[in-house]
Structure 1
Amino acid sequence: FDYKFIKGRRFHAYKEGRYKFPNDEREQDRLDTMHHMVKLAMGGKLHLAPIDVTQPLRVLDVGTGTGIWAIEFGMGCQPGDKTDMPILTFPVYSVPPNVFFEVDDVEGLWPPRKPFDYIHCRYMCGSIEDWSKLFQQAYEQTAPGGWVEFQEYHLVNYSQDNSIPEDSSIIRFYEVLRQACEAMNRPVTMGDKLPDYAADVGFTNIVHRTFPLPLGAWPKDPTMKEVGALKMLQLLDGLEAFSVATFTQLLGWQPEEVEVFLAKVRQDAMRKGVHMMTNL
C-alpha cells in the first residue's frame, strides 16, 4: 500500500487527498479506544439491530478501520459470510475464518452481489461526500427483512449544567473542524440526519437512539465515568490527527498556529468543573 507523511503522521495515498485523517499506529490505537468507548456506552453491545446471531448471516461492515468490530462480531456469530469494506487498510491479525476484508472505495459503485442480512457502518463522518448515495447503495444490497445500522456522532458539545465557558477552545476546535470538513464537502456532524436519509431511500422500521458521551471522568455513574475517561483519552490523542492536514491544507493555517491552538484545547479539555458532552 502507498502512504505519505505529514508532520510525522502517516496517511494513506489511495485516491490521495480525499481522506484527510491518518492511518498510522497511533490512529489505530485511537480507533480501538473509540470502539471500546462506544461498546461500553451501548451497554456492552456490538449492535442494536435485532438480528439473530445464532443463525448464519451475510454481514457487511462499511469503513471497518482496524477491523476490531468485525473480528468481535465474527467470533460471536455462526459461520456465515462476513465482509468488511474498509475506507483504508490497517493490518489485521487473528481474523476468524468467517471474516474477510475487501479494499474498495465505499463512495464508488458497490459491486453487484448477493444481498446482506445486516450492514453495519460507523465513524464515517468527515469521510463521506454523498450520504444519500451511501444509504441508497446500502438499501439496494440489503436482503428483504434485513437490517442496516449507522452509528455516527452528532458533534455538538453541550452541558446539562451550563458549565462550558463561552471562550472554550474545545468548542472552537469543533467549529473549525466542521468548517474544514465542509470545505471538502464531507460533513462531520451527521448523527441527527441519519433517520431522514434512511427514510428517503425506502428503509422502514427506523429507530433513532442517542447515547450521551461525557468528556472526562466526572460522571458519578461508574460506567459513564469510564466512557468519559476513554473519550478524553481518544480526544487528547486524536487532536493532531483531526487537524494536521485539515486545518493546514483546507483552511490555510500554519503548522505553528495549529500547535499553539491544540495546546489551548488540551488545557481546556482537562479543566475542572466543566461537564461537557456530545451525543452518539
Structure 2
Amino acid sequence: MTELAEPHIEVDTANDHDSVISDDISAFTTSITSSILDYPVENGRRYHAFRAGVYCLPNDELEQDRLDLSHALMTKGIGNKLFLAPIDTDKMHRVLDIGTGTGIWSMAMGDEYPNAQILGNDLSAIQPPWVPPNVKFEIDDVECPWVYEAPFDFIFCRYMAACIKDWPTLVRSVHDNLTPGGWAEFQDFDLQYYSEDGSLKEGSHTLTWINTLLEAARKTGREPSPGPRLEGWVRDAGFTNVTHQRFRFPIGPWAKDPHLKEVGLYNIQQVLSGLEAFSLRLFCHVLGWPKDEVLVLLSKVRNELKNPNLHAQFDFHVVYGQKKQAE
C-alpha cells in the first residue's frame, strides 16, 4: 500500500506572492574531456551524443542548472534527505547512481559517506572534474547489459522519467547487481498535473501542454510518469521489504504549510526554466509542431503557471526494496 506523505494541501489564502518568478538560474558549466562531447544541437539546444536520441532533454548549461535545482527540489520534497531506504550505512561500501546527470547526488553522497565508493553513470559527460576522492563517473547506457566486476550495496535510480524503454528489465538489472541484503531506491514522478480545488481547468493551456507532452513521450516508447508503477516493477523483480511513499509537489508557493510552500517555490522555478527543454524535441521532432507554435504555447503556459490562483501540483514517488539475504 502506498503511504501518502501529505494529505490534502491547504491553500494559503493570505499568500500575496506577486506571481513574478524569475526564469533565470545562475550559470553552471562543466564537462569531462571525451570524444563523445561532439554534441548535436537542435532548435538552439544541445543534446547528448552517446546513444544519440535516447534521451529527449538537452544537456546544455541551462538544463544542467535546472537539474541541480531539481535535485534541491527532490531532496527537500522528501524531507531534506538524499534517500529514504533504511540502509546500514556502516555496511554501505559500494554505491551506484543510475543516470547521475550533473553528478550532484553522487557528490553529496561522497561528502556525506567518505568511506563509501560512489559511482555515477550517465549518457552525457557533464559532470565536474573536481569531485570528492571517493566519487567517480562513467559514460554508460543502463539499458545495455551490465558488466560490473562487483555488486553494489546500494543502487539509486532517480528522475528517469521519459528515459527508459524497458523498466522491468532495468529493475531486474538493479536487483541482480546488488549484494545479498543490499538496497535499491527508485524516485520518480507522475507528471500528470492536477488540482484539488478545480483551479486547473480542462481546456487550460497548461493541461493542453502537459497532456500533449505526455502523449509525445509515450510515442517514443519511454514512459514519462513511471512513479506510480515503480512498486509493481520492484516487487516483480524479487525485492523484499518494499516500501512506497507518495509526495505531493505543489507548482508554486501557494500552499499554507511552510515546507510545501518552499517545495512549491523550488518546483515552479524548475518547471518555468525547463519548459523549452521539456518540450522542443518532443513537440517538434516527435509530433511535428513548428517551433514557433511551441514557443507561443509555452508563453501561455508560463503566464498561467505564474498565476497565484492556480493551485496545480503533481506527485513524486519513492520506492525502495531489499535483495534477499544469502541463505
TM-score range, shorter chain: over 0.9
Residues 199, 309 of structure 2: 8 Å contact kept: yes
Please tell me whether the aligned partners of residues 194 and 200 of structure 2 are also in contact (alpha carbons under 8 angstroms): yes
After TM superposition, the structure 1 stretch with the greater mean CA deviation from structure 2, 189-198 or 263-272, is: 263-272
1:12 is paired with a residue whose SS is coil
The 8 Å contact of residues 84 and 101 in structure 1, kept in 2 or not, is answered as yes
The one-character-per-residue Cα deviations of 1:131-182 (angstroms, maximum 9, x if unpaired) are 0110010010011111000000011222222221222222111111111111
Q: 2:175 aligns with which of 117, 131, 139?
A: 139
- Read off the aligned partner of 2:96 and give its amino acid letter: L
Partner of 2:66: 30
| AA matched with 2:99 | G
Between the aligned partners of 2:54 and 2:301, the Cα distance in structure 1 is 26
1:249-268 superposed matches below 5 A? 249-268=285-304
1:100-155 deviation line (CA, Å, top 9, x unaligned): 01111111001142111100001101010000110010010011111000000011
The question of 1:226 aligning with 2:228 is answered no
Contact map agreement 1:58 1:82 (CA 8 A) in 2: yes
Distance 2:82 2:212 in 1: 31
In structure 2, C-alpha distance between the alignment counterparts of 1:79 and 1:200, rounded to whole Å? 32
Query: Which range moved further: 129-138 or 172-181?
Result: 172-181
d(CA) in 2 for partners of 1:102, 1:93: 12
Q: 1:46 maps to which residue?
A: 82
User: What's the offset of the Cα at 1:80?
Assistant: 2.6
- Contact between 1:243 and 1:258, CA under 8 Å: does it hold in 2? yes
The whole-number CA distance in structure 2 between the counterparts of 1:163 and 1:174 is 16
For 2:16, the equivalent position in structure 1 comes to none
The letter of the residue matching 1:171 is L
Q: For 1:189 and 1:56, locate their aligned partners in 2 and report how far apart those are by CA, in whole Å.
A: 30
Larger deviation: 78-87 or 98-107?
78-87
Q: Deviations over 1:45-73 (max 9, x none)?
A: 00001113344521000000000000001
Identify the residue that residue 277 of structure 2 maps to in structure 1.
Answer: 241
Query: Where does residue 208 of structure 1 map in the other structure?
Result: 244
Q: Which residue of 1 aligns with 2:235?
A: 199
For 2:200, the aligned partner's letter is I
Number of equivalent positions: 280
Equivalence map 1:1-280=2 (5 Å): 1-280=37-316
For the residues of structure 1 that align with 2:124 and 2:169, how far apart are their CA atoms? Answer: 19
For residue 93 of structure 1, report the CA deviation from its aligned partner.
4.1
SS in 2 for 1:177: helix
8 A Cα contact 1:65 1:86, kept in partner: yes
Q: TM-score, normalised by structure 1?
A: 0.97
Q: CA deviation at 1:226?
A: 1.2
SS in 2 for 1:83: strand
Paired residues of 1:53 and 1:76 also in contact (CA < 8 A): no
Higher relative contact order (CA 8 A, sep 6+): 2
Letter in 2 for 1:45: K
User: Greater CA deviation, 147-156 or 2-11?
Assistant: 2-11
Question: Is the Cα–Cα contact under 8 Å of residues 252 and 265 in structure 2 kept in the other structure?
Answer: yes
Give the conservation status (yes or no) of the 8 Å contact 1:2–1:14: no
Conserved 8 A contact 1:54-1:78: no
- Secondary structure, aligned partner of 1:208: strand
User: Over the residues paired in the alignment, what is the CA RMSD in angstroms?
Assistant: 1.2
TM-score (norm 2): 0.83
In structure 2, how many angstroms separate the alpha carbons of the residues matched to 1:141 and 1:52?
Answer: 18
After the TM superposition, which of the residue ranges 100-109 and 9-18 deviates more from structure 2?
9-18
Structure 1, residues 247-267: CA drift from partner, whole Å, max 9, x if none?
A: 111001011110111111101
Tell me the distance in 2 between the aligned counterparts of 1:139 and 1:220: 40
1:205 and 1:120 map into 2 onto residues whose CA distance is 16
- List gaps (5 residues or longer) in structure 2: 1-36, 317-327
SS of equivalent residue, structure 2 residue 241: coil
Question: Structure 1 pair 25/166, CA: closer, same or farther in 2 (3 Å)?
Answer: same
Spell out structure 1 runs of 4+ moving beyond 4 A: none
Higher alpha-carbon deviation: 10-19 or 192-201: 10-19
Among all aligned residue pairs of Structure 1 and Structure 2, give the percentage whose two residues are the same amino acid: 43
